[in-house]
C-alpha cells in the first residue's frame, strides 16, 4: 500500500497551487514514483488546470480523468439526496487505483469554490481520516493583518484536531510581507506540537499571463512574438486619451487596451515599448473588430522586432476591459516563470528536511533525473555561491538567470555592456531582478585584473598592454573574477568555443595540487541512476598517467555529487583476455589508481557491457567489486568517450550534464554552443556545488 499525504484548508484563495507544487517537488525528488489525486474538482466537464499542471510537470502516467472522483456540483447533488456514503466510497476507490500504481500519493483537498463548498471541510477531514493520511494544513493569510492570520491558524488547527485528523505540518500562505516576521514570532504558542511555516504573498502568482487573457477572451494575436505570451499582466490600462496622455499612464507589464480605430495611439504605444524612457507594456489589445488600414498593416509588419504581442477582439473597449479584469491568475502547465517563483518561495520558507521527517518519507535507491536535479538545487541553495556568466547578452543565459533568481539558487553576475544587456532583457520580457551586470570595458576592476594577469604571465612574454587588452575579453575578465575570489565559479561557452572558455582558466586558475591535467566528465542522468563518463571533452589521447589522473579526479567528482565511485577503466577487452598498446595503457593506468588511491574501487581493463551489466560482469570478471556495478566510466581516449556519451544520450534519452571540468583550483565550466536554458541552469548549479566542495576542502586542510 502506498504512503500518502493530504493537503487541506478551510477556505478558498489560500494559494493551494504553490503548496501543491512544493509538496510534489519534494516528494517526487525523494521518491521518484508519486501519484496525485484531487478528490473533488470544480467541474468534471472541464479540464482541471491544477491536475494538468501536476500531471504534465511530474510525468504522471495517468489520464486526467483518473485523478479526480467528482465535480463539485455532482457531490452537492448526491449529498443532498443522502448519498454521502456513495460519494466517500467512490473517492476512496479513485485513490486506491492510483495508490496501486505509485509508491506515494498526494491528495489535494478542495478549493471551496463550488456548489459543495459548505460540506467540503467535513468531507475532506473524513477522507484524510479514513485514508490514514497525515494532513498538511493550509492557512490563508491573504488580506489579513497579523492578528487575523494567527486567529485563522488557531481555527484551522482546532478544527482539524476536532475531526481527529493527524497534522503533519501547518503552512500559512499569502501573508503580507510586512507582517511575516510578526506572524512567525507569534505562531509557536498556537501550534506547539507541529511545525508551522509562513510564506509571503507573491503578487505575480495571482496575475494572469497574456496567453491566459487570449484564451479567456478568445482573442486573435495579429502581431508580436509568441515567446512573450507567458508574461504576467500586472495592470490593465484603457487608452481612451490622446497619445501624450496615454504615455503618462503606461506601467511596467500593463495590458494596454486601445480602440482598433485609433492607429496613432496604437503605433505610439508600440514604439514606447522600444524606447528605454518608458516602462514596458506586456501586450496591446485592439478592440471593436475594426479592420486595419493596409498601411497600418505594413507598418505592423515592419515593427516585427518589437516584442509586444498585439491582440484583437471584436468586443467594445468597456466590455473588453471588464472581461480582462475577470481573468484569474492561475499557475498552469507551461507557466515556467510562475512555477519557478512558486517553488523558490516554498523552498526558501519551508524546512524541507523537517517536513520530510514529519511525513516519514523514505528515500528510494533509485535516482531519476528529476531527483538528481532537485538535489543539486537544494545543495546549491543551502550555501549560496556567486557565479559569473560572461555571455550576458545571450538569450539562453538571460532566461536561465531569471530561473535561477526565481528559484533562489545562486547569486549571479553577468558580463557585457549594461545598456545592451538591459535592452535584451526588456526585449525578452523577462525579469532578472537586481542581478549585477559588469562591463569589462568600463569596470574599475579592469586595470587591477590586468596587473595580476601580467604578473602571472610575464614569464610567457605577456606585456602590460596585452594584459590590459586581454581584460576586455569577457572570458578572461570572468576567469579573473574567480581567481580573485570575487566570484566562486564561472560558466561560459553558450556563444564561445571550448578553448575560448577554458584557456584563461589554464593560464590563470591552473590545476589543483596533485593534479597533472585538467579533464572533464559528463553526468549521465539515466532513467533510474546517475553515471559519470570521463574524459569526453578535453584530452584527446591521454597516456597511462593521464588516465589514472582522470580516473581519480572523476571519482572525486562523483563523490562530490553523492555518487559512490566504482571506476571501470574501459577498453576493448576485459581482464587479461586482450593485448596491445592501447589495452596495456589502460592496464597500467588501473595499477596506478590502485597505488595512488587504494581506498577507491577500480577495475580494468574492462568492456562496457561487463562494467554495466551484472550478469555479463560476473561471467567476464567474476569476483570483481566493479564489474556490473560501475558508476564511473573512464574511456581510453576522447574519440571513444565523446562518441559513446552522445550515442547513449541520443539512444536512451538520458540527460547529459556537462562537460564538467575537474582538476582546476576553482570551478570553471563549459557549455555547448547548442545548449538549452535547462543546460545552463544545471551547469551553473553544478558549478556552485563544486565551489562548495572546494571551500569545504580548503576549510578542513
Mean pLDDT of 88-93: 86
Mean pLDDT of 663-682: 90
Domain span at 47: 3-204+341-357
Question: Do 49 and 192 sit in the same domain of this protein?
Answer: yes
Asked if 285 and 219 touch (Cβ cutoff 8 Å), the reply is: yes
pLDDT category, 586, cuts 50, 70, 90?
A: very high
Question: Do 489 and 562 sit in the same domain of this protein?
Answer: no
pLDDT score recorded for residue 116: 47
> pLDDT at residue 504 above 80?
yes
Asked if 632 and 640 touch (Cβ cutoff 8 Å), the reply is: no
Question: Do 25 and 67 sit in the same domain of this protein?
Answer: yes
Q: Which residue has the higher pLDDT, 91 or 552?
A: 552
202-242 per-position pLDDT tens digit: 998 989 999 999 999 999 998 877 777 888 899 999 988 88
Residue 447 located in a structural domain:
yes
Q: Which residues contact 494 (CB under 8 A, 6 or more apart)?
A: 391, 394, 396, 397, 671, 672, 673, 675, 680
Q: In degrees rounded to 5, what are phi and psi of residue 328?
A: -80, 150
pLDDT category, 271, cuts 50, 70, 90?
A: confident
**What is the DSSP code (8-state) at residue 365?**
S
pLDDT category, 249, cuts 50, 70, 90?
A: confident
Residue 50 located in a structural domain:
yes
Question: Do 414 and 485 sit in the same domain of this protein?
Answer: yes
pLDDT category, 364, cuts 50, 70, 90?
A: low
Residue 161 located in a structural domain:
yes
pLDDT score recorded for residue 115: 46
Which grid coordinates are listed for 318? Answer: 468597456
Task: Please give the C-alpha separations between residue 452 and each of 278, 386, 490, 514, 666, in angstroms, as whole numbers.
Answer: 42, 21, 18, 24, 17
How far is residue 637 CA from its own chain's centroid?
34
Picking from 679, 659, 637, 683, the residue whose alpha carbon sits closest to that of residue 543 is: 637
Residue 668 located in a structural domain:
no
Residue 406 located in a structural domain:
yes
Picking from 419, 459, 410, the residue whose alpha carbon sits closest to that of residue 437 is: 419
Last residue of a domain, one of 509, 537, 559: 509
Question: Do 57 and 170 sit in the same domain of this protein?
Answer: yes
> pLDDT at residue 546 above 70?
yes
Question: Do 182 and 255 sit in the same domain of this protein?
Answer: no
Count of structural domains, the chain: 4
Task: Please give the C-alpha separations between residue 104 and each of 31, 61, 99, 298, in angstroms, as whole numbers.
Answer: 8, 14, 7, 57
pLDDT category, 275, cuts 50, 70, 90?
A: confident
Look up the CATH number of the domain holding residue 297: 3.40.1390.20
Look up the CATH number of the domain holding residue 441: 3.40.50.10950
Question: Do 347 and 200 sit in the same domain of this protein?
Answer: yes
Question: Do 7 and 52 sit in the same domain of this protein?
Answer: yes
DSSP string, 227-283: GGGGSB--EEEE--S-HHHHHHT--TTEEEEEETT-HHHHHHHHHHHH-TTS---SE
pLDDT score recorded for residue 120: 67
pLDDT score recorded for residue 1: 40
Provide the H-helix boundaries in 103-232: 117-131, 146-162, 180-186, 210-217
> pLDDT at residue 243 above 60?
yes
pLDDT score recorded for residue 304: 60
Mean pLDDT of 665-673: 90
pLDDT category, 578, cuts 50, 70, 90?
A: low
Question: Do 159 and 34 sit in the same domain of this protein?
Answer: yes
pLDDT category, 358, cuts 50, 70, 90?
A: confident
Residue 452 located in a structural domain:
yes
Residue 681 located in a structural domain:
no
**Strands 135-140 and 601-606, how do they pair?**
unpaired
Picking from 62, 167, 86, 96, the residue whose alpha carbon sits closest to that of residue 125 is: 167
> pLDDT at residue 18 above 80?
yes
pLDDT category, 10, cuts 50, 70, 90?
A: confident
pLDDT score recorded for residue 588: 94
Mean pLDDT of 642-647: 93
Question: Do 103 and 161 sit in the same domain of this protein?
Answer: yes
Question: Do 215 and 200 sit in the same domain of this protein?
Answer: no
Look up the CATH number of the domain holding residue 571: 3.40.50.10750
Residue 33 located in a structural domain:
yes
pLDDT score recorded for residue 258: 93
pLDDT category, 374, cuts 50, 70, 90?
A: confident
Mean pLDDT of 324-334: 88
Last residue of a domain, one of 509, 543, 568: 509
Last residue of a domain, one of 509, 532, 556: 509
Separation between Cα atoms, residue 665 and residue 693, nearest integer Å = 11
pLDDT score recorded for residue 363: 57
Q: Which residue has the higher pLDDT, 206 or 298?
A: 206
Question: Do 418 and 527 sit in the same domain of this protein?
Answer: no
Amino acid at each position: 500500500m502506498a504512503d500518502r499525504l493530504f493537503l487541506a484548508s478551510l477556505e478558498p484563495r489560500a494559494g493551494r497551487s504553490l503548496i501543491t507544487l512544493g509538496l510534489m517537488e519534494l516528494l517526487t525528488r525523494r521518491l521518484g514514483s508519486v501519484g496525485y489525486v484531487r478528490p473533488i474538482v470544480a467541474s468534471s466537464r472541464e479540464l482541471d488546470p491544477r491536475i494538468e499542471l501536476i500531471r504534465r510537470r511530474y510525468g504522471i502516467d495517468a489520464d486526467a480523468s483518473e485523478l479526480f472522483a467528482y465535480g463539485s456540483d455532482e457531490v452537492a447533488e448526491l449529498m443532498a439526496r443522502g448519498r454521502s456514503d456513495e460519494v466517500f466510497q467512490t473517492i476512496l476507490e479513485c485513490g486506491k487505483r492510483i495508490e496501486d500504481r505509485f509508491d506515494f500519493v498526494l491528495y489535494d483537498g478542495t478549493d471551496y469554490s463550488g456548489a459543495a463548498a459548505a460540506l467540503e471541510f467535513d468531507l475532506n477531514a473524513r477522507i484524510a481520516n479514513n485514508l490514514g493520511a497525515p494532513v498538511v494544513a493550509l492557512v490563508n493569510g491573504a488580506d489579513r493583518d497579523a492578528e487575523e492570520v494567527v486567529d485563522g491558524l488557531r481555527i484551522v488547527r482546532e478544527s482539524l484536531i476536532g475531526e481527529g485528523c493527524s497534522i503533519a505540518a501547518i503552512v500559512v500562505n499569502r501573508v503580507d510581507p510586512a507582517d511575516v516576521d510578526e506572524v512567525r514570532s507569534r505562531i509557536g504558542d498556537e501550534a506547539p506540537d507541529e511545525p508551522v511555516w509562513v510564506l509571503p504573498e507573491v503578487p505575480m502568482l495571482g496575475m494572469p499571463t497574456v496567453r491566459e487573457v487570449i484564451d479567456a477572451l478568445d482573442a486573435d494575436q495579429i502581431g508580436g512574438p509568441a515567446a512573450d505570451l507567458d508574461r504576467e499582466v500586472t495592470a490593465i490600462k484603457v487608452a481612451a486619451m490622446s497619445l501624450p496622455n496615454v504615455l503618462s499612464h503606461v506601467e511596467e507589464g500593463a495590458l494596454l487596451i486601445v480602440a482598433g480605430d485609433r492607429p496613432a495611439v496604437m503605433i505610439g504605444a508600440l514604439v514606447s515599448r522600444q524606447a528605454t524612457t518608458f516602462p514596458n507594456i506586456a501586450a496591446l489589445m485592439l478592440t471593436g473588430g475594426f479592420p486595419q488600414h493596409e498601411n497600418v498593416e505594413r507598418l505592423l509588419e515592419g515593427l516585427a522586432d518589437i516584442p509586444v504581442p498585439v491582440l484583437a477582439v471584436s468586443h467594445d473597449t468597456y466590455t473588453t476591459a471588464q472581461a480582462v479584469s475577470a481573468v484569474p491568475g492561475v499557475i498552469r502547465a507551461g507557466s515556467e516563470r510562475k512555477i519557478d517563483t512558486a517553488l523558490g518561495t516554498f523552498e526558501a520558507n519551508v524546512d524541507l528536511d523537517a517536513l520530510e521527517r514529519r511525513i516519514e518519507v523514505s528515500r528510494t535507491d533509485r535516482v531519476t533525473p528529476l531527483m538528481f536535479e532537485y538535489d543539486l538545487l537544494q545543495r546549491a541553495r543551502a550555501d549560496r555561491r556567486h557565479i559569473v556568466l560572461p555571455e550576458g547578452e545571450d538569450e539562453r543565459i538571460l532566461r536561465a538567470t531569471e530561473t535561477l533568481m526565481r528559484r533562489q539558487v545562486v547569486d549571479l553576475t553577468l558580463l557585457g555592456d549594461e545598456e545592451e544587456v538591459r535592452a535584451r532583457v526588456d526585449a525578452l520580457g523577462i525579469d532578472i531582478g537586481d542581478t549585477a551586470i559588469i562591463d569589462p570595458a568600463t569596470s574599475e576592476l579592469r586595470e587591477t585584473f590586468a596587473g595580476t594577469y601580467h604578473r602571472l604571465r610575464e614569464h610567457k612574454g605577456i606585456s602590460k598592454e596585452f594584459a590590459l587588452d586581454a581584460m576586455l575579453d569577457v572570458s578572461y575578465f570572468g576567469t579573473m573574477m574567480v581567481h580573485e575570489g570575487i566570484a566562486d565559479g564561472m560558466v561560459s561557452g553558450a556563444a564561445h568555443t571550448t578553448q575560448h572558455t577554458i584557456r584563461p582558466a589554464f593560464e590563470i586558475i591552473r590545476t589543483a595540487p596533485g593534479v597533472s591535467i585538467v579533464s572533464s566528465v559528463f553526468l549521465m542522468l539515466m532513467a533510474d541512476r546517475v553515471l559519470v563518463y570521463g574524459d569526453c571533452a578535453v584530452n584527446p589521447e591521454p597516456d597511462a598517467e593521464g588516465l589514472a589522473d582522470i580516473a581519480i579526479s572523476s571519482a572525486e567528482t562523483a563523490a562530490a555529487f553523492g555518487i559512490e565511485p566504482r571506476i571501470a577503466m574501459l577498453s576493448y577487452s576485459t581482464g587479461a583476455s586482450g593485448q596491445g598498446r592501447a589495452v596495456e595503457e589502460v592496464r597500467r593506468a588501473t595499477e596506478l589508481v590502485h597505488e595512488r588511491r587504494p581506498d577507491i574501487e577500480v577495475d580494468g581493463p574492462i568492456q562496457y557491457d561487463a562494467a554495466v551489466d551484472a550478469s555479463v560482469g560476473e561471467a567476464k570478471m567474476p569476483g570483481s567489486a566493479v564489474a556490473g556495478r560501475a558508476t564511473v566510466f573512464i574511456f581510453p581516449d576522447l574519440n571513444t568517450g565523446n562518441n559513446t556519451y552522445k550515442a547513449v544520450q541520443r539512444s536512451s534519452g538520458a540527460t547529459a550534464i556537462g562537460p564538467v571540468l575537474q582538476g582546476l583550483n576553482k570551478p570553471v565550466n563549459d557549455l555547448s554552443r547548442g545548449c538549452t536554458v535547462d543546460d545552463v541552469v544545471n551547469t551553473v548549479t553544478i558549478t556552485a556545488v563544486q565551489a562548495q566542495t572546494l571551500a569545504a576542502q580548503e576549510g578542513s586542510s
